[in-house]
Structure 1
Amino acid sequence: MSFTDASLVALRVFREVAERGTLTAAAAALGYTQSAVSRQIAALERAAGTPLLERRHDGVRLTPAGRVVLRRAATVVDQVDATARELAGLPDEPATVRLGWFTSAGASLVPQALAALHRTHPAITVTTREGSTPALVRALRAGTVDLALLASAPPFRPPDTETPALRLQTLTERSLRIAVPATHPLARAEYIDVADLHGQRWIAGSGEDRVMGVWPGLDERPDIAHTARDWLAKLRLVAAGCGITTVPTALAPARFEGVRVLPVRGGPAERRRILLARLPQPMSEPAARLADALRAAAIDTEDSL
């Protein structure tokens, strides 16, 4: 069996596995059983004559051969879909850009950029999806998003070690901030001294993001009063006087009733970056226009602080 015998279904399944990071997640997204996904991957590996995935305890990782197949599979699947539309007599899809973004970027940066792009280039359609940094990086590699906004913390390492390396542009680099209730004693000043963070009650992320929301430089065990994944829930808890939380750079320009967002002075600087990531290949004109709008929105939000 040669690779020319590989089925389109197997290529679609492989692309989904590469994007989702696990066979289980790919099966759920496709509506298949996990065993059906495994069979398709096994058939594709037999056709390739080499393993395409490295099975690990935390999911799968592409082998060098798998990266080659993924790059080609994304092109083949997109071309087949375009051919099917043409044969069906459907109109060409409008100029569409697919954008991925991390959670807090949706509070200010993404809406502002999309509104500006719609005013200047109304013919460009943007579809978006929220995700974690690992999920968005996999989506870039799988070709299911064109651009991705990523959050980065020191020591600012690349988001993955795959090749070719992603093209990364820093849109902003700002200090982490603290959200406090408007009635809290800390809200009376224009900044918070890092020493005043001792003994505070914190609202942190839940699950694997549990440490999110607590000031990273604390030299004490934090008193975590509440945990929540959703940033709106965290800030509503802050407004209700239930505790304080850190605010990522993308969220800082937003305004929330009953909450003050303040800088922190003293101690090591806690910097955070917002990155625009893409594959190292020429951008389409619509993608370049969206990238320009995101850069402009990032500058505007920084000037508003």
Structure 2
Amino acid sequence: MSLSDASMTSLRVFREVAERGTLTAAAAALGYTQSAVSRQIASLERAAGTPLLERRRDGVRLTPAGQLVVRRAADVLDRLDATARELAGLPGEGATVRLGWYPIAGADLLPRALSALRRTHPAITVVSREGRTPALVRALRAGTIDLALLASAPPFRPPDTETPALAVRTLTERSLRVAVPADHPLARQDYLDVTDLRGQRWIGGSGDEYVMGVWPGLDERPEIAHTARDWLAKLHLVAAGCGITTVPGAIESVLPPGVRVLPVRGGPGERRRVLLAHLPRPLPEAAVRVAAALRSAALETDRRP
């Protein structure tokens, strides 16, 4: 048995596992049982004649052979899907770029970039989805997205430790700030000292997040009044006087009424980067155009006060 005997189903399942990071998550996304996913992976590994996944307590990791197979599988499946559309009599698509983005990028940076792209290159179709940085990195490796907007916090390590390393470019780097209710005593100031943050009630984030939560390095155990995953929910909780939260720089254009954002002085500087990442190979022309639009939108952000 050779890899040429592998079924399209097993390739699709394998790509989903590579992107999701666990068999359980892949099974849920596909509507399969976990045992069915395991059987498809086992069948593919028999066809390949080598392990494709390294099973670990926190999920799975692609072996070098698995990285090769998932890249080839993504190419094959995309071509098959395009062929199926043509056979179904659907109109041919123009250039399509698949983009992943971390929460908050969709509030300002992404819409401005896509709006500009529609004016300059209307034939390019961008299909995008939100995700946490680790999930987006896995999606890049699995070949299910072409570009990813990622968030990065100090000490600014690479997005993952896989080889070859992803091609990564910093689009913007800004200081972390704090959002406070407009009628809060702190809102009367032009900036906050890090000591002003002691004893405050915080709107915290849920899960592993780089932005919007408790101030990093706070020298006390914070009082977290509310926890929310959605950034807009956090800001509306701030507007309602329920607490304060951190925000990335240049978010003022999308603030709800009743919120003021202030810089913080004192203590270590807290910086956040927006990265654009892709696999280390030449990008198709359409993806190059999308990347350029994102860079231009980021430069506009940097020019804001």
Tell me, yes or no, whether TM beats 0.5.
Answer: yes
Match of 2:180 in 1: 180
Equivalent-residue separation in structure 2 for 1:81 and 1:209 (angstroms): 34
Give the drift of 1:223.
1.2
Q: Does the 8 A contact of 1:97 with 1:286 survive in 2?
A: yes
Instruction: Answer with 249-258 or 162-171: which moved more.
Output: 249-258
Give the drift of 1:287.
1.0
Counterpart code for 1:295: R
User: Unpaired segments of 5 or more residues in structure 2?
Assistant: none
Equivalent-residue separation in structure 1 for 2:93 and 2:28 (angstroms): 27
User: Unpaired segments of 5 or more residues in structure 1?
Assistant: none
Give the drift of 1:208.
4.7
Taking structure 1 as the reference length, what is the TM-score of the superposition?
0.96
Describe the SS at the equivalent of 1:103.
Answer: coil
Instruction: Answer with 247-256 or 135-144: which moved more.
Output: 247-256
Q: 1:146 and 1:128, CA in 2 relative to 1: closer, same or farther beyond 3 A?
A: same
Match of 2:243 in 1: 243
5 Å-filtered alignment, 1:269-288, equals 269-288=269-288
Q: Does the 8 A contact of 1:105 with 1:250 survive in 2?
A: no
Give the drift of 1:85.
2.8
Match of 1:27 in 2: 27
Q: 1:211 and 1:139, CA in 2 relative to 1: closer, same or farther beyond 3 A?
A: closer
Match of 2:234 in 1: 234
Give the drift of 1:44.
0.5
Give the drift of 1:84.
2.5
Match of 1:61 in 2: 61
Deviation string for 1:73-131 (max 9, x for gaps)? 11111122223333344332221111100011111111111111111111211111000
Q: Does the 8 A contact of 1:148 with 1:276 survive in 2?
A: yes
Counterpart code for 1:75: D
Q: Does the 8 A contact of 2:96 with 2:286 survive in 1?
A: yes
Q: 1:279 and 1:115, CA in 2 relative to 1: closer, same or farther beyond 3 A?
A: same
Give the drift of 1:149.
0.3
Taking structure 2 as the reference length, what is the TM-score of the superposition?
0.96
Residue-pair matches, total: 305
Describe the SS at the equivalent of 2:202.
Answer: strand
Over aligned residues, Cα RMSD in angstroms?
1.6
Deviation string for 1:128-166 (max 9, x for gaps)? 100001110111111111110000000100111111111
Give the drift of 1:252.
5.0
What is the identity percentage for the equivalent residue pairs of Structure 1 and Structure 2? Answer: 77
Describe the SS at the equivalent of 2:104.
Answer: helix
Give the drift of 1:212.
5.2
Equivalent-residue separation in structure 1 for 2:108 and 2:211 (angstroms): 23
Match of 2:154 in 1: 154
Counterpart code for 2:187: A
Describe the SS at the equivalent of 2:226.
Answer: strand
Give the drift of 1:273.
0.3
Give the drift of 1:15.
0.6
Counterpart code for 2:85: R
